[in-house]
Chain A
Amino acid sequence: MTSKKRRTKQKDSSRAKRRTEALLLFVAYVLTVACHLLVELAQDDKISKDTYILVGVMAVCFLVAHIAMRRLAPNASPIFLPVAGLLAGIGFAMVSRLTPAQSATQGMWLIVGISAFCITLFLLRDYRILDRYRYIAMACGVVLLLLPLAPVIGHAVNGSNLWIKLGPLTFQPGELAKICLVIFFASYLNEKRELLAIPTRKLGPIAVPDIKYFGPLLSIWGLSLIVMFLEKDLGSSLLVFSIFLAMLYIATARIIYVLVGLALISFGASFAYSVFGHVQKRVSGWLDTFNPATIHDQTFQLAQALFAFAGGGIFGTGLGLGRPELIPAAATDFIFAAIGEELGFIGVAAIVLLFVILVGSGFRTGLRCSDQFGKLLAAGLAAALGFQAFIIMGGVTRLIPLTGITLPFMSYGGSSIFSNFIILAIFVAISDQQISGPRGVGLGRKPRMLNIGEKVAKVGATA
């Protein structure tokens, strides 16, 4: 196959992808607009002029993101943007419905998020440049993670120190720290993976590397303990550690790291449980949510969330027709419960499946990526997104103890929206390059799935 032929073929395939994306984006846009109109109608029985402006602005946002894709990442998977757009659209409708006063702010943040998406795509024409900033990423990650502990700018909300305050602006740096840390992990593990994987002895069927290679695991464990103990932020602590564990396993294939990691985190968690009252409260509130002694204060929020889910049932009460405002913090950590009430099991199951598609596409990008760094980066970010969504959705449905983190793309809050759109841009950047590597970089491996046209062309070429 000549390189010229290959280029034309790729051009065709990327055109098809962008057409698919445009169609999916249109569906996401229609659903988003429908959600907003329903919310508006449920409240006022009429549609205000602002809504028409909003509908127009949303169309522009979807369009701008799509054009950015066409220009900057024409070969990328057509799944990422529409799925994230739909999640963000439903989340935005829900935030507007729950706290109309915050609707404008959330809208601004979404615009900021989409701009961040476009800018990241522009800067990351080749994501491999991230590999060069390994130690900067590490420093940024650690500093951002620990920033809320700094005097003056550190800011506690609801007893957890996860915020910084700069003038009128509050920011949750943990969300950005997550991205920096994944970049660092990917780059570090890519370089050291062979070293870390060398088995020096056997423990039954399990290969065990030299003891000194458990160092990185211990360091990250230490970092998550600091977050757990000093910032009282169970969610972020658990998240950072589980992302690292997943990436370490992907890089080395050594199950022993996972086992030791789980032992370490259980040890840390049980230590935290015995030392901190708030951890004990979390656990007892999880096990005994409907205790009459605590249901009016400590477990009130979780109990209300469960009542909301049950009240929604299979089909939900309909947008704007439930009582999700009875759940405290419904627009941030508990947005999933509010959706569960108004859109019912069908609605939340759809949200869960959207996350499965998004996370699955992230992993798929990792699978199809030709270089090891990209694989680790995509898989790490997919794991981050998956774990975060699971921790909060599992928490509000009482599957696991509740820890306050945001639901990606849906919760109210700028830091979360901003960071998640950057993650989305990195996925897109990696998936863009999996077929058309930049000049000079050949395909490490042929993609697993070629489309029919490509196959036919191939057969034709050989014949």
Chain B
Amino acid sequence: MNRQIRKVGIFIVLLFVLLLGNLTWVQYINADSLNNNKFNGRLLLKEYQTERGSIVSADGATLAKSIATDDKLKYLRTYPQGALTGQITGYYSFIYGSDYAERAFNRELLGSETPVTYSSILQRLEGELAGNDTTLTIDTRLQKIAADALGERKGAVIALNPKTGAVLASYSYPSFDPSALSSHDAKGIRQSWQELHADPSKPLLARAFRERYPPGSTFKIVTASAALTHNKVKGSYPELTALQLPNTKRPLKNTGSELCGGDLTDSFAHSCNTTFAQMAMDVGGTDMATMAEAFGFNAKVPFDLGAARSIYPNPAEFKRNIPGLAQSGIGQFDVAATPLEMALVGSAVANKGVIMEPHVADTVRDRKGNVVKTFTPKPWKQPITPEIADQIAQLMEAVVDSGTGRNAQIDGIRIAGKTGTSQNQGEDHASFVAFGPIEDPQIVVYVIVENAGFGSREAAPVAKTLMEAALKPNG
């Protein structure tokens, strides 16, 4: 009988081993996912008991701060900059959760990143451990200038440092004030949530990195890069008003049906659609797609606030649709890019062909000001060689010097730029990408104004204002 008793005993011990395995899964391996489950009230209760860290801008302005209250949720979240940085800080709501920086840096703000030391254990035991302050790369002065320059026109402005990927300003209109969503008044929170969602102009949406637009002529940077890389640039392109495409009766026209052509520099400076449509067809769908993807299209952008994916069509589509390929060369057809992506395209040209990971996080500090964590710039992609980057920069300088981008000229500073006027269902979107100074680029700016018409007239001046403020702080 003993043999059977041992077998049953071993069987039961195995059941307990299984139980320990399952406990390891629940309490260790899968614990993070359970802790962050949105139905888990524990986390929120705990979160509201600790003083959440502040969100601070690069120039020291407070973007979000917790203040002590008397009610059950011990701290109230306030946003001194309101709608100006609403789409950067995001909201922190006990009903609807959080978004943007409040969500992306939740662990840091709660202080869960603090390394375990003797003193931190003591602080934790005494319930004194507060969250960590998170400093962003955003400069509120530039942010304000960007917002003022855009004014009450739907659109987005994003500026970043091409050498580090640090986002200096990111604004889109309309924006929202996070205070109403982050209050402790459930009724008020629900009401403003519904209003924000009902608003057709989508104030909760950060257009600067979560909305896709047809990039239009700013995409010619990618087309030119592909042609230069694959040696598909012709000495000159015929001056045409429109290009006849195979299998369609609709010709591809130049802006205003003007005569446009010449060599690459002229065609780029005057944004000849006929030239770049031809160039895309010369390069071919596969190489165009490869180059677009090297610039970050069709990829998840490693942006800490979470960005939408930009799209370049699958080249297989072009086998039956050559006009589509031609259209894609001028940033139309199914090409769609976030303002962030187009700024990254500009930053590749500015930074010797290298795109740095875009980010807003800079440093995390504890209550005493000790640095807990620092963001180190990391390269993301290198779509073009430094030589080709130089060539494109010269093309872009000609745009500002003598081409469609003259509105962005700044006295004494060499600026590179490219205008865009993209067709869509309504009036054209006006856009502009620029960087400067060319010899030592400090800032890349991308501006898009929805349904405003020409990029040269509507978007370039916004970019100019912002770059002037950044590059001539005392001027």
Interface residues, chain A, CB within 8 Å of chain B?
246, 249-251, 253, 290, 292, 295, 303, 306-314, 323, 326, 340, 344-345, 348-349, 352, 355-356, 359-360, 363, 366-367, 372, 375-376, 379, 382-383, 386-387, 390, 393-394, 397-399
Nearest A residue to B22 by beta-carbon distance?
A: A399
Q: Is the CB of A397 within 8 A of B23?
A: yes
Instruction: Decide: A310 near B26, CB < 8 A? Known: A250-B4, A326-B42, A363-B8.
Output: yes
Instruction: Decide: A326 near B28, CB < 8 A? Known: A360-B13, A382-B9, A399-B22.
Output: no
| A-B interface, 5 closest residue pairs, ranked by CB to CB distance from nearest | A310-B34, A363-B9, A386-B12, A310-B31, A250-B4
What is the distance, in angstroms, from B132's C-beta to the closest C-beta of chain A?
Answer: 20
Instruction: Decide: A307 near B40, CB < 8 A? Known: A250-B5, A375-B1, A390-B15.
Output: yes
A-B contact pairs, 30 of them (CB 8 A): A295-B39, A303-B37, A306-B26, A307-B37, A309-B23, A309-B26, A309-B34, A310-B26, A310-B31, A310-B40, A311-B34, A311-B40, A323-B46, A344-B27, A345-B24, A345-B28, A348-B23, A352-B16, A352-B19, A355-B16, A356-B16, A359-B9, A363-B8, A363-B12, A367-B2, A372-B1, A383-B12, A386-B15, A394-B22, A399-B22
Residue in B19, B40, B41, B46 with the greatest tally of chain A CB atoms within 10 Å? B19
Q: Mark B25-60, 1 if CB is under 8 A from A, else 0.
A: 011101110110101111101100000000000000
Majority DSSP secondary structure for residues of A touching B: helix
Instruction: Decide: A313 near B1, CB < 8 A? Known: A246-B8, A323-B45, A363-B9.
Output: no
Complexed CA–CA distance, A393 and B32 (Å): 21
Nearest A residue to B4 by beta-carbon distance?
A: A250
Chain A contacts for B40, CB-based, 8 A: 307, 310-311
Q: Is the CB of B42 within 8 A of A379?
A: no
In this assembly, does B368 line the interface, its C-beta being within 8 Å of a C-beta of chain A?
Answer: no
Q: Is the CB of A390 within 8 A of B31?
A: no
Chain A contacts for B7, CB-based, 8 A: 249
Complexed CA–CA distance, A246 and B43 (Å): 43
What is the distance, in angstroms, from B406's C-beta to the closest C-beta of chain A?
Answer: 56
Complexed CA–CA distance, A310 and B42 (Å): 10
Chain B contacts for A394, CB-based, 8 A: 15, 18-19, 22
Chain B contacts for A355, CB-based, 8 A: 16
Majority DSSP secondary structure for residues of B touching A: helix
Q: Is the CB of A306 within 8 A of B34?
A: yes
Q: Is the CB of A360 within 8 A of B9?
A: yes
Q: Is the CB of B27 within 8 A of A309?
A: yes
Q: Is the CB of A326 within 8 A of B39?
A: no
What is the distance, in angstroms, from A335's C-beta to the closest C-beta of chain B?
Answer: 15
A-B contact count (CB 8 A): 125
In this assembly, does B472 line the interface, its C-beta being within 8 Å of a C-beta of chain A?
Answer: no
Chain B contacts for A323, CB-based, 8 A: 42, 45-46
Chain A contacts for B20, CB-based, 8 A: 349, 352
In this assembly, does B187 line the interface, its C-beta being within 8 Å of a C-beta of chain A?
Answer: no
Choose one: A292, A310, A326, A383; the contact of B41 (CB below 8 Å).
Answer: A326
Q: Mark B233-254, 1 if CB is under 8 A from A, else 0.
A: 0000000000000000000000
Chain B contacts for A295, CB-based, 8 A: 39
Instruction: Decide: A310 near B27, CB < 8 A? Known: A355-B16, A359-B12.
Output: yes
Chain A contacts for B34, CB-based, 8 A: 306-307, 309-311
Choose one: B3, B4, B27, B45; the contact of A313 (CB below 8 Å).
Answer: B27
Q: Is the CB of B5 within 8 A of A375?
A: yes
Chain B contacts for A344, CB-based, 8 A: 27
Nearest B residue to A316 by beta-carbon distance?
A: B27
Choose one: A250, A308, A372; the contact of B8 (CB below 8 Å).
Answer: A250
Instruction: Decide: A303 near B12, CB < 8 A? Known: A314-B28, A345-B27.
Output: no
Chain B contacts for A387, CB-based, 8 A: 12
Chain A contacts for B37, CB-based, 8 A: 290, 303, 307
What is the distance, in angstroms, from A5's C-beta to the closest C-beta of chain B?
Answer: 28
In this assembly, does B6 line the interface, its C-beta being within 8 Å of a C-beta of chain A?
Answer: yes
Nearest B residue to A251 by beta-carbon distance?
A: B1
Chain B contacts for A340, CB-based, 8 A: 23, 26-27
Instruction: Decide: A356 near B5, CB < 8 A? Known: A307-B42, A309-B27.
Output: no
Nearest B residue to A249 by beta-carbon distance?
A: B4
Chain A contacts for B6, CB-based, 8 A: 363, 367
Complexed CA–CA distance, A387 and B34 (Å): 28
Complexed CA–CA distance, A376 and B37 (Å): 47
Complexed CA–CA distance, A295 and B34 (Å): 13
Q: Is the CB of A390 within 8 A of B23?
A: no
Complexed CA–CA distance, A393 and B15 (Å): 11
Q: Is the CB of A253 within 8 A of B3?
A: yes
Choose one: A292, A349, A363; the contact of B5 (CB below 8 Å).
Answer: A363
Chain B contacts for A367, CB-based, 8 A: 2, 5-6
Q: Is the CB of A290 within 8 A of B27?
A: no
Instruction: Decide: A311 near B5, CB < 8 A? Known: A355-B16, A390-B12.
Output: no
What is the distance, in angstroms, from A376's C-beta to the closest C-beta of chain B?
Answer: 8
Q: Is the CB of B39 within 8 A of A290?
A: yes
Chain B contacts for A348, CB-based, 8 A: 23, 27
Q: Is the CB of A345 within 8 A of B39?
A: no
Chain B contacts for A360, CB-based, 8 A: 9, 13
Q: Is the CB of A356 within 8 A of B26?
A: no
Q: Is the CB of A311 within 8 A of B39?
A: no
Chain A contacts for B13, CB-based, 8 A: 356, 359-360
What is the distance, in angstroms, from B447's C-beta to the closest C-beta of chain A?
Answer: 41
Chain A contacts for B24, CB-based, 8 A: 345
Q: Is the CB of A352 within 8 A of B5?
A: no
Within 8 A of A (CB), among B293-344: none
Q: Is the CB of A397 within 8 A of B12?
A: no
Complexed CA–CA distance, A379 and B23 (Å): 27
